[in-house]
Amino acid sequence: MLLALVWLLPLLGAVLLFAFGPQLRSWAGPIGSALVGVSFVATCTLWNDATVAGGMHLPLVTWLSGWSFGLSLDKLSLVWTLIITGVGFLIHVYSIGYMDGDRAFARFFAYMNFFIFAMLTLVLSDNVVGLLVGWGLVGLASYFLIGFWFERPSAVAAARKAFVMNVVGDVGIMFAIFLIVSRVGSIAFSDIFTRGVPAFGAHSPELFLVCLGLFIGAAAKSAQVPLHTWLPDAMEGPTPVSALIHAATMVTAGVYLVARFAPLWSSSPDAQELVGVIGALTAIAGAILGCVQWDIKRILAYSTMSQIGYMIMGVGVGAYDAGVMHFLTHAFFKAQLFLGSGIVIHALNNEQDVRKMGGLRKGTPFAFWAMLVGVLAICGVPGFSGFFSKDAVLYGTLSLGHPWLYAVGVITAGITAYYMFRLLFVTFFGRYRGDVDPSALGMRHPELAGTGMSESSGAHPEEEEPHHEHAPAWIMSVPVAVLMPFSVLIGWLDYGGESAPWARFFSGAFPTSAAAATPFSELLSSVLVFVVVVIGFAIAWMRYCAPPARANAVERLRGETIRTPAVLVNAYYFDAAYEMLLVRPAYALGRWFVRVIDPLVIDAGVREAGISSQWLGHLFRSFQTGLVRTYALTMALGVLCFVAYYAFAFGGAR
């Protein structure tokens, strides 16, 4: 019952805030937050029930045999539920401060609560159909929240893009479900995992297809190449949304999906290989793009994409607990980074371009420390959480026999260190550049027109409203402060190899793969990664923070902006390719339909149908004399026909 409460409280909040939002006014935020908080506490009390073997199960509805719907909470979904409700609660609290004074304050919290509900549906469902429903609903919530400031055309476009790309993924999952149901005959996870692999046959092409369909969904939701282009654009949404949905929870649903279907993946090495490669590709592609971005949230977005690449790589190669661990640590430090950047953005009146920042270490010291801890964590500095999880993922790829993926991961770690410290240095060190002429920084350069990089998102319309009192600043700082120790310490759960709490927590939960011989030990691997990270840090230091770089920062930023390779400015031309390959042909097809099919087939058909029915109507009208006796005569003739038939066909037949 408590599980249902966990699940439904956010829905209650969403309904409540939708229905009574205007009446609740500023109470909307606290109410929405409190419901999520209660949900979190309830989840905590379920800890013991969830961690027994098999977890807890709450059947709800049985539709057909094999089609029962219910909730289940096992170790994997427990981790996700705790993050969704816990981090979700903190971000709700933060939003009270961040969204303060927004016209649609209550609507924001209604959407946020709805998102929490949808995400809980996704992770708590005990069957694939419920998972798909949650999958679609989080996409919907994401659509609402990206397009939250719907007065901005760019936000609307970004929301639409995210929704469409997510639907591509939904279709993939749907096909996988069709295959599963047709072979297994059940939608329950327990049935699929016990009967699925025998039904498909290990290493069979069908199993690969199922995994591929699932992974298309995972790739779309988790912004994996080539379905990643929506994530940077999704930063059009309010910053708490970026922190909650597009960093901590929703985009990691792909990781959840792969980890959830671990029994299937482990029997399909081809699919595992594919997922690992895509993850590594995404990790390095996102990291490289992160190096050339100037919008603080876009940098974080690409870093999210890159980090999810790590997770996907981890769960893809079979290091499930490492991938989930990276999800856990990432949820904390990336939420913290986003919330920290949100404080900066809030303080600078919605300025998001780091070139116009600088020296904010003194202006927003709290944000600086929060971001610093986040950056150290994401870079994998020993002792911080990212160190443990990233090393676990990387060493997992190596020990499971994927040295090339390992190499890519290590290089990506170096790039990550470079762009994250670049962000930190450009934002918080040097001199404040908010008053420098933008063109001197290389902004609004003709070459960059229309790429989205040169435009800062601008002030949102709500800003002009006469402001009432602002919520106190602490309401934004406290959640970040709460996140901070977790960002540092949560990684220690994975300290100690086989006997680490994390490894024991998940022992037996995932199928294990045969370990390959590794060329060097985990300690050496950690040292190697750390060296690469230090190199990345050093390059960033020399380019952005060393005294000569600080001296002519404006000039250097301008030069860098102008000299950015076009291929990176355009994000490898993915958007352009989609435009050329899909959008333009679709438009052309549409125009052809407008010109040919619509007037000549559809309209003509409708017109002809109308004309012919009119003609028929005229014909039949002449029969309707309105005279009763004529009708009677007609009936009599009909009777006559019957009688004649029977009389002459059967008469005297005896």
Partner 1 sequence: MSVAPENYVALSAVLFFIGVVGVIVRRNPLIMLMSIELLFNSANLALVAFARAWVNNAGHIFAFLVITVAAAEAAIALAIVAVTFRRTPHVDVDEVAALKG
Partner 2 sequence: MIVFAILALFLVASALFTVTAKKPVYSVVGLLVNFIALAATYLTLQAEFLAVIQIVVYSGAILILFVFVIALLSSGTRAFSLGPDRMPRVAIPGILFAALACGAIAVTATRTSLAVQPTAGATGDANVFGSVANFGAALFTTNLLPFEVTAFILMVAVIGVVLIAGDEGPAGVPRRKKRRSGPREPIVKPEPLVR
| Closer residue to partner 2 in complex, CB, 618/654 | 654
Q: Does 639 bind partner 1 (CB under 8 A)?
A: yes
Question: CB 469 → partner 2: shortest distance, Å?
Answer: 50
37: nearest Cα among 116, 136, 146: 116
**What are the DSSP calls for 361-430, one per residue?**
HHHSHHHHHHHHHHHHHHHT-TTSHHHHHHHHHHHHHHHTT-HHHHHHHHHHHHHHHHHHHHHHHHHHSS
Of 588 and 639, the one with the shorter C-beta distance to partner 1 is: 639
**265: DSSP letter:** H
- Our CB check for partner 1 shows the closer of 466 and 617 to be 617
Question: Is 588 one of the binding residues for partner 1 (CB under 8 A)?
Answer: no
The answer to whether residue 633 forms part of the interface with partner 1 (CB under 8 A) is yes
Asked if 626 touches partner 2 (CB under 8 A), the answer is no
Q: Is the peptide bond before 511 cis (omega within 30 degrees of 0)?
A: no
Which H helix or E strand runs over 225? none
Return the residue of 198, 625, 638, 645 that touches partner 1, per CB under 8 A: 625
Q: Is 643 in the site for partner 2 (CB under 8 A)?
A: yes
Q: Is 654 in the site for partner 1 (CB under 8 A)?
A: no
| Contacted entry of partner 2, partner 1, none for residue 349, CB cut-off 5 to 8 Å set by kind | none
> Which residues have C-beta within 8 Å of that of residue 182, sequence separation ≥ 6?
none
Tell me whether residue 602 or residue 635 sits nearer to partner 2 (CB atom). 635
CB of 612 to partner 1, least distance (A): 18
Residue 616, CA distances (Å) to 611, 613, 650 in order:
9, 5, 37
Report the residue from 527, 589, 604, 633 that binds partner 2 according to the rule CB under 8 A: 633
Q: Taking CB under 8 A as the rule, does residue 64 contact partner 1?
A: no
Applying CB under 8 A, which part among 1-9, 77-85, 102-110, 623-631 lies near partner 2? 623-631
From the CB of 60, what's the least distance to partner 1, in Å? 51
CA separation for the pair 452, 153 (Å, rounded): 13
Q: Does 644 bind partner 2 (CB under 8 A)?
A: yes
Among 466, 497, 617, 651, binds partner 2 (CB under 8 A): 651
652, interface contact from partner 1, partner 2, none, CB < 5-8 Å by kind = partner 2
End-to-end CA distance of the chain: 76
d(CA 163, CA 101): 28
**Among the residues of 201-319, which ranges form H helices?**
205-221, 230-233, 239-243, 253-260, 262-265, 269-290, 296-317
Q: Which residues contact 103 (CB under 8 A, 6 or more apart)?
A: 462, 465
Q: Which of 565, 620, 648, 653 binds partner 1 (CB under 8 A)?
A: 620
Q: Using the minimum distance from each CB to partner 1, give the nearer residue, 65 or 622.
A: 622
Distance, in Å, from the CA atom of 40 to the CA atom of 477, rounded to the nearest integer, reads 20
Does residue 636 touch partner 2 according to CB under 8 A?
Answer: yes
Per CB under 8 A, does 624 bind partner 1?
A: yes
- 647 counts as binding partner 2 under rule CB under 8 A: yes
Residue 72 CA to residue 276 CA, distance in Å, equals 28
Residue with smaller CB distance to partner 2, 446 or 626? 626
Q: Which of 53, 61, 514, 628 binds partner 1 (CB under 8 A)?
A: 628
Closest CA to 80 of 185, 158, 6, 5: 6
User: Roughly what angle, to the nearest 10 degrees, separates helices 474-489 and 385-399?
Assistant: 40
Q: Alpha-carbon distance 562 to 568, whole Å?
A: 12
1 binds, among partner 1, partner 2, none (CB under 5 to 8 A by kind): none
Lookup: tokens for 432: 């404040």
Residues numbered 172 to 231 that lie near partner 1 (CB under 8 A) are none
Rounded to the nearest 10 degrees, the angle between the axes of helix 403-428 and helix 522-540 is 40
596 near partner 1, judged by CB under 8 A: no
Instruction: Choose the contact partner of 626 out of partner 1, partner 2, none; CB within 5 to 8 A by kind.
Output: partner 1
497 binds, among partner 2, partner 1, none (CB under 5 to 8 A by kind): none
Count of positions on this chain that bind partner 1 (CB under 8 A): 14
Can you say whether the dihedral through the CA atoms of 181, 183, 185, 188 is positive or negative?
Answer: negative
Q: Note the residues at the interface with partner 2 (CB under 8 A).
A: 627, 629-630, 633, 636-637, 639-640, 643-644, 647-648, 651-652, 654
Q: Note the residues at the interface with partner 1 (CB under 8 A).
A: 620-629, 632-633, 636, 639
